[in-house]
Structure formats: C-alpha cells, structure tokens
Amino acid sequence: MKSTLLAGALLAFATATSVHAQAIKLANVAELSGGGATVGTNWKNGIDLAIEEINAKGGVLGRKLEVSHADSQSNPGVARAQVQKALDAEPYVLLGPGYSGSVKVTAPLAAEAGIAQIMGGEAAELTQAGNKFLFRTSFGQQSSMPKVAKYIHDEMKAKTVAVVWVNNDFGRGGRDVVVKELDRLGSKVVADLSTEAGQADFAADVGKIKAANPDAVFVYLNEEESARILKELKRQGVTAPLMGETTLIGQKVIELAGDAANGARGHVGLTTDAPVDLIKAFREKFSKKYNYVPDHNGLKGYLAVYMVKATTEKMGKVDPKKFADTLHGLTIKAADEPGILMDVTFSDTGDIDRQSFLVEVVEGKQVVKQVLPKVK
C-alpha cells in the first residue's frame, strides 16, 4: 500500500513536472521585411521583450512562453502561407500580422482553426465581420477618428477642414472614417489630399491647402512625412490649427520638425510618449534592449503578450478553445497586471476600450490638454 502511494506520488510529481516544463507556444507572423518592416520589427521586438520579462518571473501559470517568428514580407499572400504554417503547428495563440490587408486574409484561417488571433491592424472593418477569434491591440480607426472629428468640430470650431492622408490602408482607412464623421457633424471638407508613403516634397499639397483656406487641417501621415509637411506648412505660412492622430505629434516628428511642430495638436491612443509612468518605464526598457526608441507598434506587440498572460491567468489554465471567450468582455487593470500598461476592456467584437489623450506640442514638448476617459 505504501509503495503504491509512493509510486502514485512519484507519478503525480513526474506528470506535474512534465506539464511544468512544457512551454506555452505562441506563433507570430509579422512584416519583418518589405514595406512594413518597421511595423513588424517593432511588433516582434515588443513581443520578445514581454516574453523575456514574463519568463524571468517564472512564466504563465508556472509555464514558460515560447514564440516562433515568421516573416510575411508585407505581402498578404505570403502572410497567408505563414499563418497556415503557424496554425498547422497548433499554437496557443496567434500574434500578428500588423497590416490590415494581411489580417483580412489570415483571420478566417485562425477562426476556422478556433485559435485566437491578437493582431496590430487598425482598419475599422476588421472587427465588424463577426469574427469571434480576432482581437485588437490598439484602437480601431472607428474608435479614434470620431474623437478627432468631434474635437475639430467642437473645440477648434472649424467649419471648413482640409484633410491630408497617406494613400495606404492605414491612411485611407482613417481618412474615410474622419471625412464621414466631419460630414455628419457639419464641418465641410474643402480639400481632400492623397499623398504617397515616403513622399519628400509637400509644396504642392500645402499650396492646395493654402488655396482652400480651411479653418483647420487634419494631417494623417507616417511620422517622417508628418515632419516634412509640418515644415512646409510653416514655410508657406499656413496659420490654420493642425490636428492629427497619433503620428502627427509623436516624439520623432517633434525632433525632426523642430519649431514647425509647435502648436500641432492630436489625439493619442497609444504612444510611447503617453504621460503614463508604466509606459515611460516600458520605453526605457525597450530602448535599453534594442538601442532605439520604439513606436506604437512596439507597444502593441508587448501588450499582445500581456493580453495572453492576463487571459490565461484569468482562466487558470492553458485552454486555447476557451481563450477567445474569456478575453471577450474582459477588463484588465494595470494595477493587477502592470504589463498591460493602462486599464483596458475588450468588447465582444475584440475591440479595445481604453483611456486616450488630447495633446498639443508646446515649445517642442507634448502637453496633455485633455484626458478622454474610457467609453464604458
């Protein structure tokens, strides 16, 4: 009897340790080369940083996290192949991709496999197709742009607005929502200017803005192009107030544009410049490890991993089938899980609800003008 007990105990111990030793496998597919290389590399580094932190503290429910990275070459066709490969290996959760197009082509595959997908895409329609396994790491444009439009209409009191956007899925998606919202509120779009990613010269675009003489200008470009257009707006003496979303008032833009950035305002959902202590600490850790300052994609990758941790701990077990159900409607507080950086709630569609900020650049520094609370 004693020996059976001992054997039983040994067996239990053995199985316990084998479960203990088995790592939780995550799969990441991101834009590590091609046009989205900055997006994907930031996202990947954020993931690696979070996993390193979590594993150093003993992992999730005593199990280490492991991640495989695959490159989508910023091409939806390749993304599909890589996600297929990742899903064939039956990961716990799928991370990425970052481009909305690549998310669109891969989301049905993950849903079919019943595996939750935590991604970086921001296009409004992604979470509107009824996919029960797809989760955002940042505001979709359908949440951020109405706030921008409201600010332009209510606070800036603009009757006429010029909209400048970059013609890729990011810029086009934002432009479509903001124009619709401005129209609804009764502000008239007097100039609707499409620009190219990587465009160097904005003289012609700014000329058109000047000719339209709007009450406000909404600028929705990538960081470097934002800095270039800010300089050109100053050079041509455009005095209308400038409004942006996340990119226009980023730290990198302020550094590149210098004086020209002063007075620019913007809505910030998630940036490394956010006036939150945990985010500042994240930024420091990240820059120390990788020797550069991350953009919001770095934050998104980092958050994705902490979403996995918080959800798994909430379930109390590693269960890929129940993961998506648990994350729907879940609120994660930064006080309980510092890795999540800010309190956040996930809706039934996988959208995110979180505090955000209205920021103005004053003498080369971001100043928070207004804190926009969570919707719910």
Give the footprint of other proteins on this chain (CB under 8 A).
32-33, 35, 69-71, 73-77, 80-81, 84-85, 87-88, 100-101, 104-105, 108, 123, 125, 167-169, 172-173
Considering the complex, state which of residue 101 and residue 263 has its C-beta at the smaller distance from other proteins. 101
Considering the complex, state which of residue 87 and residue 149 has its C-beta at the smaller distance from other proteins. 87
Scored b (16 or more CB within 10 A) or e, 186-214 reads ebebbbebebeeebeebeebbeebbebeb
Considering the complex, state which of residue 32 and residue 240 has its C-beta at the smaller distance from other proteins. 32
Alpha-carbon distance 357 to 367, whole Å? 10
CB of 104 to other proteins, least distance (A): 5
Tokens of 305: 């991993």
- The alpha carbon dihedral of 112, 115, 116, 117 has a sign of negative
CB of 255 to other proteins, least distance (A): 28
239 burial level (CB within 10 Å; 0-12, 13-18, 19+): exposed
Considering the complex, state which of residue 52 and residue 155 has its C-beta at the smaller distance from other proteins. 52
CB of 215 to other proteins, least distance (A): 28
Considering the complex, state which of residue 70 and residue 261 has its C-beta at the smaller distance from other proteins. 70
CB of 84 to other proteins, least distance (A): 4
CB of 53 to other proteins, least distance (A): 21
Which of 192, 153, 201 is CA-nearest to residue 174?
Answer: 192
Considering the complex, state which of residue 123 and residue 152 has its C-beta at the smaller distance from other proteins. 123
| Whether the Cβ atoms of residue 192 and residue 161 lie closer than 8 Å to each other | no
CB of 124 to other proteins, least distance (A): 10
Alpha-carbon distance 114 to 43, whole Å? 23
- What is the Cα 61 distance to its own chain's centre? 26
